[in-house]
Amino acid sequence: MSVLSKAREWDLDLDRYLNRILPPSPLHRLPAPISRFLGYRKAQRQDVGNVLGASWSMLGAFCGLAVVAAVFNSMSRQGASAILEYNAIRSPLGQPRNALLGHTFSALVGVGVSKLFQYHSEYESIKWIAGAVACGIASAVMLLTNTVHPPGGASAVLAATDPVITAMGWYFAGLVLWGTTLMVIVGLVVNNIQRQFPMYWWTPLDLRKAKKEDEETMPDARGGVEKKESEAEQTAGEIERETEKKGGCKTMRGQSAK
């Protein structure tokens, strides 16, 4: 099998390792008024109709962008995020992890690429290449880290091509993170009045069950996975072995007596 054929099967899942060390969500332990506005529900309910959903989406986008504009005097970078965070609130692309980390990773990539290209004497004439490279790398980073957030591509391109943002340097990544945080905070308030947001903070998996299953499995000698014996099975096995030993001892004594 060629390397290219094997490459089709390569799959890097960082969550497989991170979920083992992350604590389970504590939202169910918080008071109901607090946990509700953090997206927790004891039982999942069907989303509201699209007429009411459109009203809340419109209000959320207005409030979110107004807050960002009031703080930064600019909201152009957050327009696309507003659609995901106030409209497509059930989409994985609009969850807090994707919004916060996707935007921030993309901004960091854009700034890094911009700084590398600035070493070239003809940077101004080739910075369009920097924008394309930044967007491509940001897309790959978001996919590998499970933080895909389409508006993050704009953050990467702007960081590599816009003169005002390029002059900010690494400071731009902090501004992006702060602006996205404000958008998420507004979403927690507006989206949880009659809807639910977020659907999850880190992963849709139940980390309590995932950790329990992980503890019950272990790699075997062939690299596969086998179930560990439960305590009951281990106890039963020990009793059976002890019984066999005692039976063997009695047989030997009987033979000696004869």
CA dist 178 and 172 (Å) reads 10
> For residue 165, is it within any domain?
yes
Long-range contacts of 63-72 (CB under 8 A, 24+ apart): 63/186, 63/190, 64/182, 64/183, 64/186, 64/187, 64/190, 67/182, 67/183, 67/186, 68/179, 68/182, 68/183, 71/178, 71/179, 71/182, 72/175, 72/179
CA dist 253 and 23 (Å) reads 57
* Residue-level pLDDT at 190: 96
Question: What is the secondary structure of 11-50 as a DSSP string?
Answer: ---THHHHHHHSPPP-GGGS-HHHHHTTT--SS--PPPPH
> For residue 8, is it within any domain?
no
> For residue 172, is it within any domain?
yes
Q: Write the pLDDT tens digit of every residue in 39-49.
A: 999 888 888 99
Q: Could you tell me which residue, 182 or 2, shows the higher pLDDT?
A: 182
- Any residues with CB less than 8 A from the CB of 201 and at least 6 apart, and which? 25, 38, 39, 95, 96, 97
Q: How confident is the model at residue 235 (pLDDT cuts 50, 70, 90)?
A: low
> For residue 221, is it within any domain?
no
> For residue 59, is it within any domain?
yes
Question: What is the secondary structure of 212-237 as a DSSP string?
Answer: HHHHTEEE-TTS-EEEPPPHHHHHHH
> For residue 28, is it within any domain?
no
What b/e string do you get for 217-233 counting C-beta neighbours within 10 Å, with b at 16 or more? eeeeeeeeeeeeeeeee
Say how many domains are in the chain: 1
- What pTM was computed for the model? 0.77
Q: Which two tokens stand for residue 115?
A: 């700084």
> For residue 7, is it within any domain?
no
> For residue 94, is it within any domain?
yes
State the greatest distance between any 2 C-alpha atoms of the chain, in Å, as a whole number.
Answer: 104
The H-or-E segment that residue 144 falls in is: helix 123-144
Average confidence (pLDDT) over 105-122: 95
Q: Write the pLDDT tens digit of every residue in 146-182.
A: 999 999 999 999 999 999 999 999 999 999 999 999 9
| Structural domain that includes position 116 | 34-39+48-204
Q: Write the pLDDT tens digit of every residue in 175-231.
A: 999 999 999 999 999 999 999 999 999 998 877 765 565 555 544 434 444 444 445
Q: Which two tokens stand for residue 131?
A: 């924008």
